[in-house]
Structure formats: C-alpha cells, structure tokens
Structure 1
Amino acid sequence: MKFVDLISPTAVKVVSSTSSKKRLMHDISDLAEGAYGVNAPRILEALMEREALGPTGVGHGVALPHARIPGIDEVAGAFILLEKPVDFDAVDRQPVDIVFAIFAPEEAGVEHLKALALVSRSLRDQGLCAKLRANPVPTTLYTILTETEASKAA
C-alpha cells in the first residue's frame, strides 16, 4: 500500500484552529464526506466509537484516528494539519497538530492494518513531520506525503 493509493488530494486540509477533539472529529468527517462521498455523521459516529475504546493520539503531536465505515469500498485516508494544536488525549499528553484519519470497509482485514502501519511508520519520522508542519498548503502537504514514499522506494 502507498499513500497515493490511500489519500485523495481533496482529502488534505489545513485548519487554523479547532476548539476540541470532538470538533476536530467533525472536521475530519466533513473532509472525508467531501472527498469520498461518505455520509459525515456515519463517519463521525464510527470515529467516536473507536476513540471510546482508547485514544488514537500516538505521541509527538500525531493522531491516527481510524474506523471501519459501513458503505465504503476501499481503505481511504484524510489528512489535517492544525495550525493550533488541540488536546487529543495522546499517550504522551502532548497536543496534536498532525492528524491522519483512516477509513476502512467493515470487512477490510489486512488492508486496514497495512494502511495503519504505513501511516504510523511514516509519521514517526520527525523529519517528515517537520516538513509537514512547515508547509501549511494542502497541495504541498499532499505532495510531501506522496513523494516521501517515492523517494524511499528509489
């Protein structure tokens, strides 16, 4: 799996500020609805249910909310860069400013796990995160995400 297969350029957004984790989940749901045509309330409900099992803030300012969504055909992602970090109940108790959400079909098994592994591994790279934080333009963020992987493959 590659980022270019996981995320649409229209699923990348910069948000100047958000008031809470719940508001951020609304932003993610709306972004996914616009990019993939999936019902935003359905996405929000699935993300909140998953979050209730345990926070998906993985540390170093990064969160990876994910859920299985009825009615989608393939694993998809959405990326939000927050200009002002928000509390996300992350494992290191640091606020989050990089959010990569993953949506999987209900029956997706290994593809969902491959997507989570790809995103998690990539966003552990502090150099990549620094690049993302320094370029608050959606088209540039998309390019950084998809080119990083291409340069590692070369």
Structure 2
Amino acid sequence: MGAWAPKAEQVAMSNYFNDKSQVDTFLTSFKAKIQDSLNALYNGFNELKAEGFNVDAVEPMGAIYLTIKIDYIGKTTEDGQVLKDSADVNFYLIKEAGAALVPFSAFGNEDSMPWFRASVGACTLQDIKDMLPRIKKALSKLK
C-alpha cells in the first residue's frame, strides 16, 4: 500500500493513545475476548479428541494462535480423494467445514506433519462455536 494514514487519523490515534485509561480498558477487554476464543477452540478440540477423533491441541499460551493436530492424512473423502498431506487436509476442511488453518509445512516442516496453526484473530467467539460442529461433521465423513 505504501500510503501514510491521513493526518486527521494520526492526530485522533495520538489522542487516543494518550488516554491510558481508555487504552487499558480496551486492551483488557480485547485480551479477554481473545483468550475466550482460544479456550473455546482448545476445549472444542479436546471434546473431539474425547469422542475418538484423531485430533489434539496444545493448551493456549498467549498470542492469537492455537496449535492443533488433525491426523487425517491418508484418509479418503466421500468422493474418493485420498488426503495425501497436510495441505490436502487443510483444503478439505476449507471446502467441507469453512475452516482454514495453516499447516506446519508452511513453516518448513514435512508435508506429512499433521499439525496446524489456527488463528482466532479474525474470528468471534460465536464463529468458533459455529465452526466446531462443522469440523466434526467434516471429519466424520472421512474413511
């Protein structure tokens, strides 16, 4: 983009950042919402695991990301496509569940690694609650 924010916007942000109380209130609320979203995603994957799905999740440790294992490489879709690697699993979940993740292979790991990074930064808590049953349904279809 390469463009500076308009001066009026810069002045408004400067005034906002000078109001420590207002910034602290916003950050406290924002951080709580992010943590609620991370916890919902983490708990949802633990529930799937408890139900026998071959998934796992690492307890949230900050930021906006959750590390998730979805070990369905080698499974077959209803239309006969074999999920050959983590990218196939990801594209299957995009198509079937409307959920996009980042395979660890994007960070230089093997395509056969069934671990993904999920971001809650652009999702609401309700988005996550709505997504979990779709993931369950999509994984249930695999053979």
TM-score range, shorter chain: under 0.3
Structure number with greater Rg is 2
State TM-score, norm by structure 1. 0.27
State TM-score, norm by structure 2. 0.28
Q: Which has the higher contact order (CA 8 A, sep 6+)?
A: 1
**Larger relative helix fraction:** 2
**Larger relative strand fraction:** 1
